[in-house]
Amino acid sequence: MKPWPPPESLRQPCEDFVEKDRLLLEQAVEKVVRFGQQVGVTPEEMIRLLDSGISIGELLGFLASRTSGVV
């Protein structure tokens, strides 16, 4: 029995994956920064929060709480 060929995406060079990942990560970061700015949190404040040890999930929860007025 002949194995199925891998999908086209798995035949691409590793560099293509790295570049796609980088672009997706940049887009995600830009969205989080814009959201933070909309709720009154600067990028520098978000960096300080992440440096202090909170997770990305906790940061997103914090930003979401700022939209509902719960701090």
pLDDT at 10: 53
pLDDT (tens digit per residue) in 16-69: 667 888 889 999 999 999 999 999 999 999 999 999 999 999 999 999 999 875
Distance (Å, rounded) from C-alpha 21 to C-alpha 32? 16
pTM for this model (two decimals): 0.67
Q: Per residue in 28-44, is it b (16+ CB within 10 Å) or e — as a string?
A: eeeebeebbeeeebeee
